[in-house]
């Protein structure tokens, strides 16, 4: 009886739960992995009907190899169900004690296995946009026929400008891919993120308070409440449509998930205003209603954060700044009022480290004024 270790047992339990008719086994010496289950008859074999057989994968028994074997079990099971699978012309052997070189695994191979791993435990309909927008758009930039290495991932990242959102997204996705493939020095990918800065990297215009107040009065009345929330509470534009305004009379906006799929990964948070008193009085006078947007896209998929951001941008496109410019003005106003950095960072929904990096020059000026008693 081939040896089955505890990790293999866990994977086999997942295969069983997914109704995949295979189990993963190790070779007698424990060095190699193979599949056992009902396979079609081998060409030229005496027995012509599908029956219980073993398939040598040529994959070593290690953590990365187990992930590959699991993905292969899912792939082969699907191909057999569709009548597409055929025995390899030269079945892989299990050479003990003289192992053959490990098969070359390309970027395309790893991306397919990474995708299979991504879908484990996820609802395809709910997570489809996340995969297509956040993952596949980054993964398809890689050359599928080359060998996956950290240097290849870094070279692809460096093709995009420092400070760009594309570069930041590539770093997040490629870091996950490198760790999934257990590449050496995978943490080097995270280090290039230091060049990303969401304010200075994109050089967004930041309006002053006088300009904000004037633009607010002249804005389309249907959008003044939205503008006021951005101004006084510093929300990300899409968060305006993701918030609860039931405590607005108490000067609190609640941003919190109904479901993880709808709201993303940001934790629920309470946000407080940083604004002159007459701004808050004016906001109180407005009806707390959001302009109605279409319920879904033309293809029937639900609206995402970008759709909400674009809708708000269209209403403000005549201005010299964006909704994020108002968010930055909120942060800078907090610095000038000596609100603790940790508190403002919490209200804005990012870390203190990010807050201090992004707004360093305003923070340094504040600290200098406080030290000199100015």
Quickly state the pLDDT bin for 354 (edges 50, 70, 90): confident
pLDDT for the residue 46: 65
Which of residues 17 and 334 earns the better pLDDT score?
Answer: 334
Q: Is the pLDDT of residue 273 over 90?
A: yes
Residue 271 confidence (pLDDT) above 90: yes
Q: What is the CATH number of domain 209-372?
A: 1.10.443
Q: Give the C-alpha separation, 139 to 131, whole Å.
A: 10
Neighbour tally for 24: CB within 10 Å? 26
> Shortest CA distance to 66 belongs to which of 104, 2, 16, 10?
10
Residue ranges per structural domain of the chain: 6-81, 107-195, 209-372
Q: Is the pLDDT of residue 95 over 90?
A: no
CB atoms within 10 A of CB 268: 11
Q: What is the pLDDT of residue 196?
A: 44
pLDDT band (50, 70, 90) for residue 365: confident
Residue 174: what pLDDT? 92
| Three-state DSSP class for residue 296 | strand
Residue 331, pLDDT score:
92
Q: Which residue has the higher pLDDT, 366 or 356?
A: 356
pLDDT at 2: 43
What percentage of the chain reaches a pLDDT higher than 70?
Answer: 84
Cα–Cα nearest to 206, from 292, 290, 325, 312: 325
pLDDT digits (tens, 9 = 90+) for 164-211: 778 888 988 998 898 888 777 777 787 665 544 444 334 567 889 999
Q: How confident is the model at residue 326 (pLDDT cuts 50, 70, 90)?
A: very high
For 4-47, what is each residue's pLDDT tens digit?
Answer: 445 788 888 888 888 888 899 887 667 888 898 888 888 776 66
From 74-88, 97-111, 323-337, the region with the lowest mean pLDDT: 97-111
pLDDT category, 257, cuts 50, 70, 90? low
Q: Find the DSSP H helices in 182-322.
A: 188-191, 209-218, 224-233, 260-263, 277-284, 305-316
**Do β-strands 32-39 and 243-244 pair in parallel, antiparallel, or remain unpaired?**
unpaired
Q: Range with the lowest mean pLDDT among 60-69, 133-142, 323-332, 336-345?
A: 60-69
In order, the DSSP letters of 135-152 are IIHHHTTS-TTSBP-HHH
């Amino acid at each position: 009886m081939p040896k089955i270790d505890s990790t293999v047992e866990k994977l086999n339990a997942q295969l069983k739960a997914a109704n995949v008719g295979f189990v993963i086994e190790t070779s007698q010496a424990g060095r190699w992995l193979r599949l056992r289950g009902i396979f079609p008859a081998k060409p030229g074999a005496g027995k012509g009907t599908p029956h219980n057989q073993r398939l040598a994968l040529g994959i070593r028994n290690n953590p990365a190899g187990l992930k590959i074997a699991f993905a292969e079990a899912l792939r082969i099971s699907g191909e057999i169900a569709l009548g597409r699978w055929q025995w390899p012309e030269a079945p892989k052997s299990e050479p003990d004690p003289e192992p053959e070189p490990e098969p070359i695994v390309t970027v395309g191979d790893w991306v397919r296995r990474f995708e299979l791993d991504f879908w484990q435990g996820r609802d395809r309909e709910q997570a489809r946009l996340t995969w297509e927008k956040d993952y596949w758009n980054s993964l398809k930039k890689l050359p599928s026929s080359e060998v996956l290495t950290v240097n290849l991932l870094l070279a692809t990242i460096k093709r995009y400008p420092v400070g760009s959102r594309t570069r930041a997204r590539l770093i997040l996705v490629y870091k996950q891919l490198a760790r999934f493939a257990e590449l050496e020095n995978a943490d080097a990918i995270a280090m290039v993120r230091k060049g990303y800065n969401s304010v200075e990297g994109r050089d967004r215009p930041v309006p002053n308070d006088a300009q904000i107040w004037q633009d607010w009065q002249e804005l389309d009345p249907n959008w003044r409440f939205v503008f006021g929330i951005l101004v006084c509470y510093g929300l990300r534009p899409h968060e305006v449509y993701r918030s609860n305004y039931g405590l607005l009379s108490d000067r609190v906006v609640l941003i919190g998930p109904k479901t993880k799929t709808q709201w993303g990964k940001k934790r629920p948070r309470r946000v407080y205003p940083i604004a002159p008193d007459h701004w808050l009085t004016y906001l109180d006078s407005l009806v707390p209603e959001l302009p109605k947007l279409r319920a879904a896209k033309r293809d029937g998929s639900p609206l995402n954060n970008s759709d909400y951001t674009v809708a708000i941008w269209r209403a403000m496109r005549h201005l010299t700044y964006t909704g994020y410019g108002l968010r930055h003005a909120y942060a800078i106003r907090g610095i000038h009022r000596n609100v603790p950095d940790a508190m403002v960072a919490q209200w804005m929904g990012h870390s203190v480290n990010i807050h201090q990096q992004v707004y360093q020059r305003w923070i340094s000026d504040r600290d200098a004024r406080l030290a000199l008693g100015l």
